[in-house]
Amino acid sequence: MTTTSYRAGLSRAVAATAAALALLAAPSGQAAAADPGLPLGDPDLAETRTSQTLAAGVTLTRIVRGTEPAPADQIDTTTRGPWVVNVLTIDPRKTRGHLTATYGPDLARTEKTTDLVRATEALVGVNGSFFTFTANRQYPGDPVGLGLYGGKLLSEPTSDPAEVNFVVDSRSDRVLMGKLSWSGSVQNRKTGASLPLEFLNHPPVVPAGCAALADQTECTEPGDVVRFTPEFAAATPSGAGVEVVLDRRGCVVRTSTTRGTELTAGQTSLQATGREAATLVQVAGKDCLRTTSVLVDEKGDRLPLRKSLSGVNGRYRLTADGQIVVPDGSGSFFARNPRTVAGTTQDGRIVLATIDGRMTSSVGTTMDETAAVAHALGLHDAVNLDGGGSTTMSVRGELVNRPSGSTERAVGDALIFRD
């Protein structure tokens, strides 16, 4: 889409917001023609919306804009669509259910969104975080950024300025969106010696120049310091480096000169590579350690962790305080793709939406188009979650949308709603 056509679409989005909200509130089973409709493609495109009530306060609306399949060679450029958008609206004032984040048997593996919905007996779910995927075939489900589940911070937000986080409190149904930051450390309670933590539940990197050393404490190149919990996998990552296992009180159980062990309930471990290996051994000794882990919001305020909190990571804020804020960008990420969106309306409703893409039956949206759709749907605040082949919506364990791959992709985690 050209800059000119996008700006024109943005103007239509502002004008269409009130109409879009009214259509989303249409009675169950009613189909209606949207006018002027979503700010996608040419203004004369036919658009239909069909809504159904899934539970008290929970509505699913299917929006189809455009009627003719796109030529396969014009998916990235067509102004005629079509687009298929599924919009789940949750009104906390009318429902007894709650939205949370979940993952499979452990953090490192991937599961299909439909399976996660079935396993938790949820009403509906969408895919959530960006995750390692093919970058590490041994631990593909590892979140690339924030992973917060039932009040447990299992993956820290990255320093990538593109990361934006979606945090929901199932107790109050309030949502926090923005860029979170994290810091962590371990300190010997007896000596006061300390060491900064760099990651939570991510395999550390062994410096190339130290990989062949028999004694990793002799390495002088910088490495990583990582805290592992039993939720990560059946065993911690193996390889060169050192590992210190702690009991539930934080006291040293054992220290190993190689990495890789099974953690029992209540245990955690610290792994270090590079020159930090020697420092960890020195700091830990045979004593008890105090571990700190602090999340901070965009205002610099600490975010206290409680059992009702869940959070996933996304890439780029779409809207903030009712304004489109997605940055300019280029490349495949900003081009048309399937998209998953999470956001809230000004009156506190929570919205999860999927936009099918990379198909002649639904071409997908650019980042600009995605932000315009979020705005037109009345999302006062919205974030772009993982998309592409991951984009999935499931109701009672059955697919609602059509994923772009030949089969549904297994993902790292999901946002699920239990009624």
Q: Give backbone dihedrals phi and psi of 39, rounded to 5 degrees, phi first.
A: -80, 60
pLDDT of residue 170: 95
pLDDT of residue 181: 98
Using CA atoms, how far apart are residues 341 and 415, in angstroms rounded to an integer? 11
Helices (H), 38-137: 113-119
Using CA atoms, how far apart are residues 257 and 159, in angstroms rounded to an integer? 30
Peptide bond into 157 cis (omega under 30): no
pLDDT of residue 319: 98
pLDDT of residue 307: 97
Query: pLDDT confidence of 25, banded at 50, 70, 90?
Result: very low
Instruction: Please state the rounded mean pLDDT for residues 10-18.
Output: 40
pLDDT of residue 236: 98
If you average pLDDT over every residue of the chain, what do you get? 92
Each residue's pLDDT tens digit, 245-273: 999 999 999 999 999 999 999 999 999 99
SS (H, E, C) 240-290: EEEEEEECCCCEEEEEEEEECCCCCCCCEEEEECCCHHHHHHHHHCCCEEE
Using CA atoms, how far apart are residues 171 and 99, in angstroms rounded to an integer? 10
Using CA atoms, how far apart are residues 407 and 395, in angstroms rounded to an integer? 17
On whether the pTM is more than 0.75, the answer is yes
Q: Is the pLDDT of residue 36 over 90?
A: no
What does the domain layout of the chain look like in residue ranges?
Answer: 3-98+307-418, 183-293
A 10 A CB-CB count for 148 gives 28
pLDDT of residue 134: 93
Query: pLDDT confidence of 214, banded at 50, 70, 90?
Result: confident
As a residue count, the chain comes to 419
Q: Is the pLDDT of residue 24 over 80?
A: no
Looking at the chain, the whole-number percentage of residues with pLDDT higher than 90 is 89
Query: pLDDT confidence of 16, banded at 50, 70, 90?
Result: very low
State whether the Cα torsion 89-95-101-102 is positive or negative.
Answer: negative
Q: Is the pLDDT of residue 12 over 90?
A: no
Q: Give backbone dihedrals phi and psi of 282, rounded to 5 degrees, phi first.
A: -70, -45
Task: Spell out the CATH class of 183-293.
Answer: mainly beta
Contact 194, 186 (CB under 8 A): yes
Instruction: Please state the rounded mean pLDDT for residues 135-139.
Output: 96
Q: Tell me whether residue 278 is exposed, middle or buried, using C-beta atoms within 10 angstroms of its C-beta: 0 to 12, 13 to 18, 19 or more.
A: middle
Indicate the pairing of strand 225-228 with strand 199-200.
parallel
pLDDT of residue 3: 36
Q: Is the pLDDT of residue 155 over 80?
A: yes
pLDDT of residue 406: 87
pLDDT of residue 418: 97
Each residue's pLDDT tens digit, 164-193: 999 999 999 999 999 999 999 999 999 999
Q: Is the pLDDT of residue 34 over 80?
A: no
Angle at 174 between CA 173 and CA 177, to 5 degrees: 135
**Exposed e or buried b per residue across 343-368, where buried means at least 16 C-beta atoms within 10 angstroms of its C-beta:** bbbeeebbbbbbbbbbbeebbbbbbb
pLDDT of residue 40: 98
Each residue's pLDDT tens digit, 75-113: 999 999 999 999 999 999 999 999 999 999 999 999 999
pLDDT of residue 133: 96
Peptide bond into 36 cis (omega under 30): yes
Each residue's pLDDT tens digit, 299-354: 999 999 999 999 999 999 999 999 999 999 999 999 999 999 999 999 999 999 99
What's the gap between Cα 318 and its chain centre?
Answer: 14
